[in-house]
A and B are shown apart, each in its own frame.
Chain A
Amino acid sequence: MTRRQDMGDVVEERRMKAGKMLAAMNRHEKTAWLLLAASGLVAGLLGWTLFFGDDGTETKVIGPAWWLFLVGYVFFIRRDRTLAVDERDQAIQAHGVRAGYAALMLMLVVASVVVEGFGGFVASRTGHWLGNFLFWLVCISMSLHAAVMVWHYGRDRR
Chain B
Amino acid sequence: MTGTPIGNDIRRLRFERGEMTQQALADACGVTRQTIIALEAGRYAPSLELAFRIARTFGVGVEDVFRWQD
Closest to B46 in A: A87
B interface, CB within 8 angstroms of A? 1, 30-35, 37-38, 41, 43-44, 46-47, 49-50
Kindly count the residue-residue contacts between A and B in the assembled complex, taking CB atoms under 8 Å apart.
Answer: 40
Grouping DSSP codes into helix (H, G, I), strand (E, B) and loop, the A interface class, with mixed when no group exceeds half, is helix
Supposing A155-B1, A156-B41 touch, asked if A29 and B34 sit within 8 A by C-beta, the answer is yes
Grouping DSSP codes into helix (H, G, I), strand (E, B) and loop, the B interface class, with mixed when no group exceeds half, is loop
| A87–B32 CB distance below 8 A | no
| A84–B30 CB distance below 8 A | yes
| B43–A156 CB distance below 8 A | yes
| A157–B34 CB distance below 8 A | yes
> CA–CA, A153 to B43, complex, Å?
10
Query: Please, which residues of chain B bring their CB within 8 A of the CB of A153?
Result: 34
Given contact pairs A84-B30, A156-B43, a sample of 15 additional A-B residue pairs in the complex whose CB atoms are under 8 Å apart = A24-B34, A25-B34, A29-B34, A86-B30, A87-B49, A88-B31, A88-B34, A88-B44, A89-B32, A156-B34, A156-B38, A156-B41, A156-B44, A157-B34, A157-B37
